[in-house]
Amino acid sequence: MNGLTLAYLGDAYYELSIRKHLIELKLTNVNDLHKQAIKYTSGTAQAKIIEYLMEKELLTVSEIETFKRGRNSSGPGRKNIDAKAYHYATGFEALIGALYLEDIQRADSIIGLAITFIEEGALHGKNSG
């Protein structure tokens, strides 16, 4: 599967996982759910997550290769986000998509790390966007 197809799948699985997490936190107002979800799912947030995972060496060589495949296939980007962040976010989504297909437990583990990263950053006023 090409990088963009993996990103398409990864975006859906990551979004679903975040929504499930927020509902488990007992959030019920749809507007609140949406506002909270953006903290985890925005392109900027995803770019920061993947940078953190690589900086802390929490990814395998194969996972980094999958990230790069998605990053490099992401096209020109969008107007509302920095080009580098857009490419990194697409790479993150491609990684999640590939892991969803190959090793869903690992996908869930990385999503758990992402959630922790975003929530710890929110406590310290960092990582959101």
Q: What does 10-79 look like in DSSP terms, one character per residue?
A: HHHHHHHHHHHHHHHTT---HHHHHHHHHHHHSHHHHHHHHHHHHHTT-S-HHHHHHHHHHHHTSTT--T
Q: Which of 11, 32, 103, 108 is catalytic?
A: 11
Phi, psi of 106 (to 5 degrees): -70, -40
32 is catalytic: no
Taken as a whole, the chain contains a residue count of: 129
Q: How far is CA 87 from CA 82, 104, 111, in A?
A: 9, 23, 18
**Catalytic positions:** 11
